[in-house]
Structure 1
Amino acid sequence: MIRLGAGHLERIAAVGAHCDDIAIGAGGTLLAMCRARPGLHVDALVLSGGGGEREEEERAALAAFCPGAELRLTVLKLPDGRLPSRRDEAKAAVEELRAETDPDLVLAPRTDDAHQDHRCLAKLMTTAFRDHLVLGYEIVKWDGDLGRPAAYQPLSPEEAEDKVRLLQEHYPSQRHRPWYDREVFLGLARIRGVECHARYAEAFAVTKLTLDLGD
């Protein structure tokens, strides 16, 4: 398995259409990065769920998923399931994030995600963050849109277990969903681990990257 590093990471940006998207798609990766790099700057933007229980959950969850990091989180109130019709507002929020940060790494939804909100946000990210490494995380769902990812972040058993525990602990509003359980999250991580010769892993799509192999 070929391993490429992202270099020295000081600041990352993470975006989600809904509260819990970032944690489901990249929670283990956030844990791994923040534990390895105390003081890492994390700028997070969530487009919907602001002003209520969902925002409270998200703030507590991302604080737990980013231990020791300098976390700045913005949660907006755009309507769930209607982001394409509010594209201008979503674009303004993404552009504002871009104006405030120049991250070494961006975590965002996949551009081919079957959910219209995820897909809308993903396409905005690649236009605003043109010169950045953007990793598109995956979210398991009824649509069955999981594909063949191009990049993997191996997770230790501890990181994988901690991710599942934190998802269950910090998002009680989602526990009623039939797919929101330990078997789903740990099962997908195990499959992605098999694909990259690790016990567990999170997987990402990469739309474009530039290699520097001269040295």
Structure 2
Amino acid sequence: MIRLGAGRPDRIVALGAHCDDIAIGAGGTLLTMCRARPGLRVDALVLSGGGGEREQEERDALAAFCPDADLRLTVLKLPDGRLPAHWGEAKASVEELRGRTEPELVLAPRTEDAHQDHRGLAQLVTTAFRDHLVLGYEIVKWDGDLGRPTAYQPLSPEVAEEKVRLLQEHYPSQRHRPWYDREAFLGLARIRGIECHERYAEAFALTKVTLDLGTPDRRG
């Protein structure tokens, strides 16, 4: 499997349409990065769920998924499932975030996501973070919109198990959903691991990247 590194980022951005989107789509990646680089700055923006139980769940969860990180989380109050009707406010919030950070990596929903809120946010990200490495995470759901990803972050068995445990622990409001269980989360991670010759992995859509294949070899 070909491996391309993205260096050691000092700042990343994580965006979600709903509380728990970031953790479901990229929780293992956040755990891996934050443990490898204490003090990593993580600017996170969630468009809905603010002001209630869901916001507190999100704050507790992302604090656990980003250990020893400089986490700066904003949770807005846009209505769930109504992003098209609140496009201006959503766009302004994404652009405001862009104006106060210069990340080396952006984690966001895929532009092909079947959920209109996820897809809408993904479209906003491409207009605000135009020259950044953007990894589009996937969220398992009833729509069955999982595709063929182009990038993988391997997860150690310990991190994969920790991700599932934290999802179950910190989002009690979601436990009633038929797909919100250990088998779904760990099963998808196992499938994505098979695809990249690892035990577990998270997968991402990568739409554009510039390669530097002409750097002189300075070894010896």
Asked if these proteins are the same fold (TM beyond 0.5), I'd say: yes
User: What is the root-mean-square deviation of aligned Cα atoms in Å?
Assistant: 0.4
CA distance in 1, matches of 2:126, 2:83: 17
CA distance in 2, matches of 1:28, 1:97: 23
Q: Partner of 1:188 in structure 2?
A: 188
SS in 1 for 2:201: strand
CA distance in 1, matches of 2:213, 2:88: 39
Give CA deviations for 1:78-137 in whole Å, capped at 9, x if unaligned: 000000111111000000000010000000000000000000000000110001000000
Q: Spell out the pairing of 1:3-82 with structure 2 (5 A cutoff).
A: 3-82=3-82
Give CA deviations for 1:165-188 in whole Å, capped at 9, x if unaligned: 000000000000000000000000
Q: Spell out the pairing of 1:22-171 with structure 2 (5 A cutoff).
A: 22-171=22-171
Compute the displacement of 1:214 (Å).
Answer: 1.4
Q: Partner of 2:218 in structure 1?
A: none
- One-letter code of the match for 2:105? L
SS in 2 for 1:15: strand
Q: Partner of 2:214 in structure 1?
A: 214
CA distance in 2, matches of 1:200, 1:74: 30
- One-letter code of the match for 2:68? G
CA distance in 1, matches of 2:130, 2:108: 13
TM-score between the two structures when normalised by the length of structure 2: 0.97
Please say which structure displays the higher CA radius of gyration: 2
CA distance in 1, matches of 2:186, 2:23: 13
CA distance in 2, matches of 1:129, 1:79: 24
Structure 1 runs, 4 residues or longer, greater than 3 Å off: none
CA distance in 2, matches of 1:56, 1:107: 21
Compute the displacement of 1:8 (Å).
Answer: 2.4
CA distance in 2, matches of 1:207, 1:107: 13
CA distance in 1, matches of 2:164, 2:97: 28
SS in 2 for 1:24: helix
CA distance in 2, matches of 1:129, 1:208: 12
CA distance in 2, matches of 1:80, 1:95: 20
Q: Partner of 2:175 in structure 1?
A: 175
SS in 1 for 2:42: strand
TM-score between the two structures when normalised by the length of structure 1: 0.99
- One-letter code of the match for 1:162? E
SS in 2 for 1:18: coil
SS in 2 for 1:72: strand
CA distance in 1, matches of 2:15, 2:95: 12
- One-letter code of the match for 2:140? V
CA distance in 2, matches of 1:210, 1:34: 25
Aligned residues: 215
Unaligned runs of 5+ in 1: none
Unaligned runs of 5+ in 2: 216-220
- One-letter code of the match for 2:194? V
